[in-house]
Amino acid sequence: MAEPVSIISYPDPRLKKVSAPITAFDADLRELAQQMFALMRLEKGVGLAAPQVARNIRMFVMNATGNPEDDRVYVNPELSEAEGEEEGEEGCLSIPELRVKIFRSRKLRIVAKDLEGKSIEESAEGYVARIWQHETDHLNGILLTDRMGPVAKIANRSLLKDLEERYKKQGKTT
């Protein structure tokens, strides 16, 4: 049985690590995915990557519609065939107070595995493609703070400083 998980917050250094590929498709992985879906729903998110729950593995869960039948799990995802670019507002469950406009590819393809280790190949555009890119960034140790433009960095400087101070007060260091 997988240990209970919780969302870790910026500036926790574990969020900046590149995640390791998954090789074991077992009950623990399925349990972790279920816990991640529960947390994602509780926090009203549309995606959650394993590094956000302090698991340094290449998996994310998502649901773009909120309907349970649209739950998706992607293990060891690889994005390709990016087309176009569009700007959209994003938030992050690990930096809940932050909302910023980010440029992302408009359309792309994902190749991954499901929880049983079976291959998944899909293409998407718009919102789903944005979620894939955001969550894959987490697997690569990339945060919204790394994607923000200079104006957004200035506009959110005090918020990020506050989060860093709160983190230090909890006895943690970056």
In tens, the pLDDT along 45-79 reads 999 999 999 999 999 999 999 999 999 999 999 99
Domain that holds residue 28: 13-169
Domain-embedded: residue 79: yes
Distance CA 91, CA 10 (A): 12
Is 135 labeled as catalytic in the residue annotation?
Answer: yes
pLDDT at 174 over 80: no
Residue 4 belongs to a domain: no
In a domain, 29, yes or no: yes
8 falls within a domain: no
What total of structural domains would you count in the chain? 1
- For residue range 112-140, what is the model confidence (pLDDT) as tens digits? 999 999 999 999 999 999 999 999 999 99
Sequence-ordered list of residues with C-beta below 8 angstroms from that of 109, at least 6 positions apart, any chain: 79, 80, 81, 121, 122, 123
SS3 of the chain = CCCCCCCCCCCCHHHHCCCECCCCCCHHHHHHHHHHHHHHHHCCCCEEEHHHHCCCECEEEECCCCCHHHCEEEEEEEEEEEECCEEEEEEECCEEEEEEEEEECCEEEEEEECCCCCEEEEEEECHHHHHHHHHHHHHCCCCHHHHCCHHHHHHCHHHHHHHHHHHHHCCCCC
Q: What's the mean per-residue pLDDT of the chain?
A: 95
CATH of the domain at 157: 3.90.45.10
pLDDT band of residue 1 (cuts 50, 70, 90) is: low
**What pTM did the predictor assign?**
0.95
Residue 3 resides in a domain: no
Among 3, 135, 164, 165, which one carries the catalytic annotation? 135
Does 6 reside within a domain?
Answer: no
- Alpha-carbon distance of 142 to 47, in angstroms, equals 15
CA dihedral 50→75→70→134, nearest 10 degrees, is: 60
